[in-house]
Amino acid sequence: MSDQTPAVELRIAHVFFKNRRVLEDLNRRFPSRSATAIYGPSGSGKTTLLRTLSRMNDDVEGFRVEGRVLIEGENIYSKEVDASRLRRKVGMLFQKPCVFPKSIYQNVVFGLRHRDGIDRKALPEMAESVLREVRLWDEVKDRLNEWAPTLSQGQQQRLALARLLILEPKILLMDEPTSSLDPRSVEAIEALIERHSKLRAILLVTHNLEQARRVCDEIVFMDCGRFLESPPLPHSSPAGEELLNY
Ligand SMILES: Nc1ncnc2c1ncn2[C@@H]1O[C@H](COP(=O)(O)OP(=O)(O)OP(=O)(O)O)[C@@H](O)[C@H]1O
Ligand SMILES: [Mg+2]
């Protein structure tokens, strides 16, 4: 793979759930080391797009992709690619924090437990480093063996993010990650997106245009399962203004 290969390249003609077409004509490259916001009304297909990029709809009955989705140049819907290999490159953070019924520490190192070539003795240090990255270390350093589900929502979301970061994903997908969080957690996650956009490709779905402008290099507008070709700037087309104010 050359440096010029985009992290993600979409060549999607259609995505269906049974006979309902939810994504259409999505052709776009997302560079590595860059944060892109995806912004659009409810039902426009943002979550479906992120789930399609991480093959999370594989088990959904009637889900079908027509076209190609290239991650670092490889079509993830070709037969040779299995989903577990893909998960090593692509991490996804959901709107609702997802933590496992395990200790805080076990959550952080969860994805590394069966990975070859990991020095077990290095795990505590790696865990501390990612917990610091998400600004959770000071809050949990004295209770790493406590049950993770007892953490607050904002802490759980930062923990879920630490669990992804320890795997060093090339591509980080975030689906409205801060929409139900306290200001402190929002700030920690926004700061992390800014820093990590220098290291990996980040696709951030957000309903918050100010957030998109603050932390992303680019904003892609979606409506009715398509990208809008020219992002609506203030005082541009009436359709654009409508979307900005949806
Ligand atoms: N598993 C599914 N089965 C059938 N239809 C689905 C499924 N998941 C999503 N859809 C449909 O796909 C369309 C896009 O939904 P999606 O959740 O991607 O929108 P969204 O842009 O993320 O909306 P929001 O901003 O509310 O999260 C909707 O019409 C939705 O009903
Ligand atoms: Mg959604």
pLDDT digits (tens, 9 = 90+) for 182-235: 999 999 999 999 999 999 999 999 999 999 999 999 999 999 999 997 555 554
Range 8-244: architecture per CATH: 3-Layer(aba) Sandwich (3.40)
Q: Is the CB of 45 under 6 A from ligand 1?
A: yes
Q: From start to end of the chain, where are the E strands?
A: 8-17, 20-30, 34-39, 63-71, 74-75, 90-93, 171-175, 201-205, 218-223, 226-227
Q: Is the CB of 22 under 6 A from ligand 1?
A: yes
Q: What is the DSSP letter of 144?
A: T
Maximal CA-CA distance, the chain: 59
Residue 239 reports pLDDT greater than 50:
no
Contact of 34 with 195, CB cutoff 8 Å: no
pTM above 0.85, yes or no: yes
Question: To the nearest whole percent, how much of the chain has pLDDT over 70?
Answer: 92
Q: Which residues surround ligand 2, an ion (CB under 5 A)?
A: 47
Q: What distance in angstroms lies between residue 223's CA and the mean position of ligand 2's atoms?
A: 12
What's the pLDDT score for residue 39? 97
Average pLDDT over residues 115-121: 86
Q: Is the CB of 206 under 6 A from ligand 1?
A: no
Q: Is the CB of 155 under 6 A from ligand 1?
A: no
Cα–Cα–Cα angle for 30, 34, 37, rounded to 5 degrees: 75
Q: What is the DSSP letter of 98?
A: -
Domain assignments of the chain as residue spans, ordered by start = 8-244
Question: To the nearest whole percent, how much of the chain has pLDDT over 90?
Answer: 83
Question: Which pLDDT tens digit goes with each residue over 93-102?
Answer: 999 999 999 9
Question: Which pLDDT tens digit goes with each residue over 128-173?
Answer: 999 999 999 999 999 999 999 999 999 999 999 999 999 999 999 9
